[in-house]
Each structure stands twice: as C-alpha cells, then as structure tokens.
Amino acid sequence: MDIHEYQAKEVLSNFGVAIPSGALAYSPEQAAYRARELGGDKWIVKAQVHAGGRGKAGGVKLCNSENEIHTACDEMFGRKLVTHQTGPEGKGIYRVYVESAVPIDREIYLGFVLDRTSQRVMIVASSEGGMEIEEISAERPDSIVRSIVEPAVGLQEFQAREVAFNLGLEPRLVQQMVRTLQGCYAAFNELDATMVEINPLVVTGDDRVLALDAKMSFDDNALFRHPHISELRDKSQEDPRESRAADRGLSYVGLEGNIGCIVNGAGLAMATMDTIKLAGGEPANFLDIGGGASPERVAKAFRLVLSDKNVQAVLVNIFAGINRCDWVAEGVVQALRDLEIDIPVIVRLAGTNVEEGQKILAKSGLPIIRATTLMEAAERAVGAWRNDLIQNTKVRAV
C-alpha cells in the first residue's frame, strides 16, 4: 500500500525526521488560506498523487503570492496528472500540499528498501539528489552509497555516521543526518514498510537537513498490525479493479491484455500468464483466488475479471489441493448462469475431486471449453479468443 507525500512526512516526523512546514488543502481557496497560515513569501504547491515525476508533469509549482497559489491550484484540481509512473491514464488530483519554500544548498537521495539477496534492509543514498534512482544509477553510479543493516542490532549510530561521511556532509551536519537515518529505519522496521524514500533530502542555507519529499510503501499483509497506517489508504489513487479485489480478499493485478485469468496460487498464476504469452496471447490480469475457493468466491472472481472491458476470453486454471475441483466447477457454472457471460470460458481442473468437477461442467450444458493440461488450456484460450474476434469482425463488416 502506498501513501501520499504529506502522509509519509507526518509518519516520518513522528520518528524524528525533520520536515518543512506545510499544510493540506482541498480547494484553491483553502490552499491560499494555508499559505497565509504558514507565513513567508514563497511557497511550493504539490499535487498529491501516488506517482513520481510530478514536477516534470506540472504537479509541483513555486508560488510567490496567494494569487499565484490560487491560480496554480485551480489548474491542478480535478485534472489527471500524467507522469512516467502513472501511464497514459494518469491519476486524479483531489488534494494539494502547500509547503514553505526553503533555501537549498544541496540535494541528496535517500532510500530504504528490502534487499532480497542479503535478506536485509539496505540503505541506498546518493549525493545526486533530485533525480530518480534509475537515472542516478545510469548516469552517476559512483555516487551511490549502499549500507546493509543487521536486523539483530538495527541501524547503529556509527553506521549512520559512515553513510553521512560517504555522502560528503560537513561534520556540523552529521548528527542531523544520523537522526534522519535512524528515524527512517525505525519507521521502516516498526511499521512493516517495504520502502522509504526521501528525494530530495536537502541541506538548507541555514544548515538544516530536511525531507523535502517523501514516499512510503507498506506490506499489505501486515496492515492488520497497524490500523492507523491502514486508514491512510486512498482508493482514488488505485486501480479500481485492484481495490475491489482487495476488498473481497482476492489478489489481483490488472494488466493490458485480453485473456482474463482465474487461478489458485501465485506461482501457478504466474505460470499461467507465461503460458498464455507462449501460446501467442496476452493476459489481462493476475488473479489468485487462494485456497478454499468456494463457489461464491469463484463467482466473485468472475465478476472482477469481467469488470475489465478489455477481457475477451477467460481461462480458469485450478490445481486443487486445499481447494476442491467440484467447488470450483460449481462456482464456474454459477457464474456463467448468473452473469450471462458471452465470451469464451476455458477451464482446466486438476487435483482433488477432479472427476466430480469435470462431471459438473459436463452436465451443466453450458458452452465451457475444457482442457487437461496448462498448455492445452492456454492454446484453447488463445484460439477461442481469436475465433471470437474474427466472428465479431465479420458481424461488424456485415
């Protein structure tokens, strides 16, 4: 789960990370009022969306008066901000963060991520702040500082000082950097985060180390331990299909293809998508219905997959262990009868109660295409989709 910049800053400030003064606004008038409350003569107005690259896309504006703030916000509110991370569909701007401008001497990149190789939290930092880490890696790889935190002892002060010195910070700023690093690590560790990024972390003209921007992501599976973090979720920034799936206990990721997938198990779901590609098709989604899939759960999965207007065929691939093939078959039949599905449906069942499941499908009298192996199922799904596409094209031509 991702959260907004202003939320990440509030979380990090509670762990001792210094941030500039700022306030949230939901309208141009409120934004101008927030600037008056903050005081000063320069402010930064930032669109609050779950995406990087906001500045290049016009989502960050430097303003010198309340009128400029009102104008900038009037242009932002209600429109879609399109960045290299949002895709062409963009993300809606429904709130902005007004922040006091600060004099910047230098910018630093700072990130905390899970390193899968070492199975540890890794600090990734660079003296070349303000750019995306991918750009830094490509253009200035020598500037990147890496440090792995030993979980048994956490981030020690000597280790944080070492990172600060490797970034070339002046001795008078090192202690502030140590507090920032330790605060970020504490937030990462205690809140089950998967990523903390401050870009840029700035050194100001009056020798302060401030988080000028911040991003945080959290492990969805651990949110039950942190209800105050779970409440920060903004569904308006998420793929509506993925939001519906999460609310129904399903693991779903939307893709750009046209063959919908309903599978049990993440590994099998990945294999199914690969096999569809191998057969010449494009998967429309990743969907893991999990163990113990009842007929009602399978029907929910069908509704979710069919909510994607790009889906032109559905492949159900079940290898039953905890699941039962007869349950899944009942769910498929129920879904096809209730939803009046008019696209090809291909079903491959294997494992527990497979014979009973096959009988239920056969007796249903519904136009279900059955397969015995994954490759056969993928080929039949791609073939059925192509035939359906050709037939629809002929109908339109007539």
Q: Which domains does the chain have, with CATH numbers?
A: 1-19+103-238 (3.30.470.20), 21-101 (3.30.1490.20), 240-397 (3.40.50.261)
Is 53 annotated to bind a ligand? Reply is yes
Predicted confidence at residue 8, as pLDDT, reads 96
Is 213 annotated to bind a ligand? Reply is yes
Query: Are 258 and 280 contacting, i.e. CB atoms less than 8 angstroms apart?
Result: no
Catalytic site residue from 197, 242, 330, 379:
197
Q: Is the peptide bond before 240 cis (omega within 30 degrees of 0)?
A: no
Predicted confidence at residue 394, as pLDDT, reads 38
- Tens of pLDDT, residue by residue over 251-273, are 788 888 899 999 888 889 999 99
Is 221 annotated to bind a ligand? Reply is no
Structure tokens that stand for 58 in this block: 């016009």
Catalytic site includes residue 197:
yes
398 residues of the chain, pLDDT tens digit each = 899 999 999 999 999 999 999 999 999 999 999 999 999 999 999 999 988 888 888 899 999 999 999 999 999 998 888 888 777 878 889 999 999 999 999 999 999 999 988 999 999 999 887 767 777 777 778 888 999 999 999 999 999 999 999 999 999 999 999 999 999 999 999 999 999 999 999 999 999 999 999 999 999 889 999 999 999 988 888 777 777 777 666 778 888 889 999 988 888 999 999 999 999 999 999 988 876 666 777 888 888 888 888 899 999 998 887 778 888 888 888 888 888 788 899 999 988 888 999 999 999 888 889 999 999 999 999 998 887 554 544 333 33
Predicted confidence at residue 388, as pLDDT, reads 59
Strands in 96-100's sheet, in edge-to-edge order, are 22-25, 96-100, 43-47, 60-63
Is 166 annotated to bind a ligand? Reply is no
Catalytic site residue from 5, 6, 97, 109:
109
Rounded distance, CA 250 to CA 262, Å? 10
Is 99 annotated to bind a ligand? Reply is yes
Q: One-letter amino acid identity for 162?
A: E
Dihedral class, residue 95 (left if φ above 0, else alpha if ψ from -120 to 50, else beta)? beta
Predicted confidence at residue 185, as pLDDT, reads 97
Is 162 annotated to bind a ligand? Reply is no
Query: Are 22 and 98 contacting, i.e. CB atoms less than 8 angstroms apart?
Result: yes
Predicted confidence at residue 51, as pLDDT, reads 87
Predicted TM-score (pTM) of the model is 0.76
Predicted confidence at residue 391, as pLDDT, reads 52
- Comparing C-alpha atoms, which of 254, 43, 217, 52 is closest to residue 133? 52
Predicted confidence at residue 396, as pLDDT, reads 35
Decide the pairing of beta strands 104-115 and 215-218: unpaired
